[in-house]
Amino acid sequence: MSDVVFTVEASTVNSTRVDVCAGGHAFSIDEPARMGGTDAGPNPVEYLLGALAGCLNVTGHFVAKEMGFTIESMDIRLEGNLDPLVFMGKKLGVRAGFKEIHVWIDMKCDAGEETLAQWAQAVETRCPVSDNLRNSTPLKIAFTH
């Protein structure tokens, strides 16, 4: 089996909003009014956290099934902190994005402690979005105008 390619297309609606097409689905990304936006949807870093939650859920269920136990539910809270002065061009020497991301997962399932510890390790290793955040991912950005 070779690599699977995922493609997404986005178009500017205004200075803070893009509308995105992904497969048969569409969604809007924007900033809230207090950040100068039109609040048509969650902002980019909220989608980033959401993507991680979605990936932990699907990977978690996949690995649990493989290990022979059932997850009844996962409630996931995610939090990231960043320094907005970097985005605003008013600070150097600090990273622009989340300095760290905290994830709290509250699960209902029928597995014991030892099984869950093995499960958690496998999930963190095999979750694609976790990998892309935790480890450096090459971005190749090309501009035409």
Please give the residues from 60 up to 79 whose contact with its own copies meets the rule CB under 8 A. Answer: 61-63, 65-66, 71, 73-79
* One residue of 69, 96, 114, 118 binding its own copies per CB under 8 A: 96
x/- track of binding to its own copies for residues 115-144 (CB under 8 A): -x---x-x-xxxxxxxxxxxxxxxxxxxxx
Choose between 7 and 68: whose C-beta lies nearer to its own copies: 7
The Cα–Cα gap between 42 and 60 comes to: 25
Residue 1 touching its own copies (CB under 8 A): yes
Is the CB of residue 127 less than 8 Å from the CB of residue 55? yes
Buried b (16+ CB within 10 A) or exposed e, 1-27: eeeeeeeeeeeeeeebbbbeeeeeeee
Tally of CB atoms within 10 A around 101: 17
**CB 122 to its own copies: min, Å:** 7
CB of 60 to its own copies, least distance (A): 9
Q: Does residue 114 bind its own copies (CB under 8 A)?
A: no
Residues 19-58 that bind its own copies (CB under 8 A): 20, 22-25, 27, 29-32, 37, 39, 41-58
Distance CA 127, CA 122 (A): 8
Interaction between residue 93 and its own copies (CB under 8 A):
no
Structure tokens at 9: 């297309």
